[in-house]
Amino acid sequence: MRILSLGFGLRICEMTADLATPWPVAAVIDRVLGMSSSHNPLSSLLDLFGTGKTAMLTTAAASVVLLAVVSGAFDYAGDRVMNGTGERISVAIRADAYAHLQRLPMSYHDRQAVGESTSRIITDCGRIKDSLVALFSTLFPGLLSIASFAVALLLLDWRFGLIGLGCIPLVLVTGARIRRLGHRAARRQREAEGRLAGLVTESLRGIRTVHSFGRQDLHDQHFAAESDGTLRAGLDATDIQARRVPLLEVATAVGTASLLWVGGTGVTHGWWSVGHLVVALSYLAGMINPIRSLSKLSVTFSQGQASAERIISILDEPRPSGGSCKNLPVRALGRIEFSGVTMAYGRRPALRRLDLTVEPGERVALTGPNGVGKSTALALIAGLYRPTRGAVRIDGHATSELPERWLHRQVAVVLQDTFLFSGTLADNIRYSRPDASPREVAEAAEAALVTDFAQALPDGLQTRLGDGGTGLSGGQRQRVGIARALLADAPIVLLDEPTSGLDVEAERLVVAALRRLVTDRTVVMTTHRPALLRMATREVRLTPTDGARRKTPPGVPLGGGPLLADPRDPVNVRPAEGG
């Protein structure tokens, strides 16, 4: 607030200099060119260095330059302060929107394209910034100018003042409808741009597939179709903007012509001096110019408003409420319990009434056909989703009641494809525990057999990975993922097909690393690979009637009923293997 007051103060100083600017000219016209000797607030200044014509001309010329310098200096300082405020507020909005977006539930991210979300955070926040900067650097000073020049015109003569004030509604009314149309066009344009960003991100994320199938042309077509949408909306916005200019010109010309006519009549009747008329015309121009530049801003504001709506729609999305469980131990025992758990992403349940208990230290392998809900069960334990019905409990506490931070400390996950971030290998391992010391990171890397291949890299664990962790093979990435999970040192470990897609040798190394990870922890895994299944102490087979129902031919009744392991498929308990 203090910074805004400073900005306004600077603008008022600039305004004062601007208001004084036409008076030296008026003084020259009236006193030097000898047209009349009317009252001029700067008259005494004109006599400062002598009353000769040359002295007065020189003083007037110097005053014009001096006033311009003073006005320019205040303009510069005002811009710095006001624009800086716009920049700062928009950075804060972007940070809030990003922080909120990251914390939205997985169900939100499932339905929102990554490119679309990126476009909102980058482009929409950018447009909000443009609007805020325009608000502080053009709108506020513009309104101040309009008000100041209108008051100055009124003080000069009420008739001039009325003409000036009459111009304001004329210009505003012409702009109102155009602004409405502009807002609609801007909204369509931003929506189309968001979809375009979604397309680009998707095709670039799948660029290997695009290249493998040589289907660049297909993506070109999709891109062109979306691009066409942005182009049409953009052209509409440009057309609306172009329509505004002639209307404004006419409104401005009407105001100037009225003043010229009334003022000229007054001068010929000797009511005012020529100098006064010049000052009045200059004030009218000073008043109308900001109105014109303000109405030019309507495009910026329309886009800013459309973008603000898109950011607000993110901020309006409810974040999952934090769990209220108190007095939890630092480390859970690791007992996991599914009681009557049904989970539906959309309408179709992915899991139905699942009852399953995993005792601390057990290693349960969930098996079953594709799409039966194995990964969904793991995601529920990790707290990524909340059950639609029933409860998943850890040490007797429902995951929905557990504080997120505590839950994340109890559960470490190794996924089918470990996602690595750009940064060093060590940074990626430390991701699970940012406060880990370099020694702990090195130990985790050693145990997960990351050191074996890191040694061959130019900077060992300090080797930088590319965007998305490019530069490592599938097996190597999984070993980094295991090191990450080892460093987390959580009592519960979830393994979601961590060896699928690896060749025999890579699998052997990953399984060796996993053996160290699973020791003395509760483990729930999904896998079809015998090497990993052998690590399990129990196998629970899910069946389609338990999980997502397949589409059935008409007339064939769907199965149902509560789920444990498939009753026809005896629970397979194997002796635990040593780490």
Ligand X SMILES: Nc1ncnc2c1ncn2[C@@H]1O[C@H](COP(=O)(O)OP(=O)(O)OP(=O)(O)O)[C@@H](O)[C@H]1O
Residue 524 is given by DSSP the state E
The stretch among 218-226, 286-294, 328-336, 365-373 that binds ligand X (CB under 6 A) is 365-373
Among positions 104-123, residues that touch ligand X (CB under 6 A) are: 110
Q: Which position among 255, 323, 373, 498 is part of the footprint of ligand X (CB under 6 A)?
A: 373
Residue closer to ligand X, measured from CB, 287 or 350: 350
375 sits near ligand X (criterion: CB under 6 A): yes
Residue with structure tokens 């060590």? 426
| C-beta closer to ligand X: residue 346 or 458 | 346
Contact 10, 74 (CB under 8 A): yes
CA distance 541 to 87: 56
Site membership for ligand X, residue 513 (CB under 6 A): no
Contact call for residue 380 and ligand X (CB under 6 A): no
| Comparison of 366 and 441: residue with beta carbon closer to ligand X | 366
Q: Which is nearest to 335 in space by CA: 482, 564, 489, 524?
A: 524
Pick the piece of the chain touching ligand X (CB under 6 A) from 47-55, 81-89, 370-378, 552-560: 370-378
Contact yes or no for 395/336 (Cβ under 8 A):
no
Q: How far apart are CA 407 and CA 398, in angstroms?
A: 11
Beta bridge mates, 228: none
Q: Which stretch, 63-71, 318-326, 353-361, 371-379, contacts ligand X (CB under 6 A)?
A: 371-379
**165 alpha-carbon distance from chain centroid:** 42
**Interaction of residue 370 with ligand X, rule CB under 6 A:** yes
Closer by beta carbon to ligand X, 183 or else 374 = 374
- Report the relative pairing of strands 389-394 and 397-398 from DSSP bridges: antiparallel
The reply on whether position 353 binds ligand X by CB under 6 A is no
Backbone angles phi, psi at 367, to 5 degrees: -125, 175
The 8-class DSSP code of residue 289 comes to: H
Pattern of binders to ligand X over 469-508, x per CB under 6 A?
----------------------------------------
Cα distances from 301 to residues 88, 128, 230, 578, in angstroms, run 18, 8, 18, 66
Nearest distance from residue 218's CB to ligand X, in Å? Answer: 24
Binding residue for ligand X (CB under 6 A) from 119, 131, 302, 376?
376
374 binds ligand X (CB under 6 A): yes
Maximal C-alpha separation, the chain = 116
List beta partners, residue 539. 365, 572
Segment near ligand X (CB under 6 A), from 55-63, 230-238, 266-274, 367-375? 367-375
Q: Smallest distance, Å, CB 409 to ligand X?
A: 24
Min dist CB 372 to ligand X, Å, is 4
100 in Cβ contact with 317 (< 8 Å): yes
- Contacts to ligand X from residues 521-550, by CB under 6 A: 526, 547-548
Sites for ligand X among residues 273-302 (CB under 6 A): none
Residue closer to ligand X by CB (options 206, 460) is 206
Stretch that binds ligand X, among 142-150, 173-181, 366-374, 443-451 (CB under 6 A): 366-374
Rounded least distance, CB 389 to ligand X, Å: 15
For residue 383, state whether it binds ligand X (rule: CB under 6 A): no
Of 372, 490, 509, 535, the one binding ligand X (CB under 6 A) is 372
C-alpha distance across the termini of the chain, in Å: 62
374 vs 479, beta carbon nearer ligand X: 374
Q: Which of 234, 340, 371, 460 binds ligand X (CB under 6 A)?
A: 371
Q: How is residue 222 written in tokens?
A: 């999709």
Query: Which CB, 321 or 370, lies closer to ligand X?
Result: 370
Please count the helices (runs of H) and the strands (runs of E) in the chain. 20, 12
The nearest distance, CB 546 to ligand X, in angstroms, is: 10
Position 556: which residue type?
V
Q: How far is the CB of 347 from ligand X (least distance, A)?
A: 10
* Residue span 328-347 as binding mask against ligand X, x where in contact by CB under 6 A, dash where not: -----------------xx-
Which lies closer to ligand X via its Cβ, residue 199 or residue 351?
Answer: 351
Number of residues binding to ligand X, judged by CB under 6 A: 14
Asked if residues 518 and 364 have their Cβ atoms less than 8 Å apart, the reply is no
DSSP annotation of 318: P
Q: Give strand ranges (E) for 158-226.
A: none
User: Which pairs from 532-537 meet CB under 8 Å and 24+ separation?
Assistant: 532/365, 532/495, 532/498, 532/499, 533/365, 533/367, 534/574, 534/577, 535/363, 535/511, 535/577, 536/363, 536/364, 536/365, 536/574, 537/362, 537/363, 537/364, 537/573, 537/574, 537/575, 537/576
Task: List residues near ligand X by CB under 6 A.
Answer: 110, 345-346, 350, 370-376, 526, 547-548
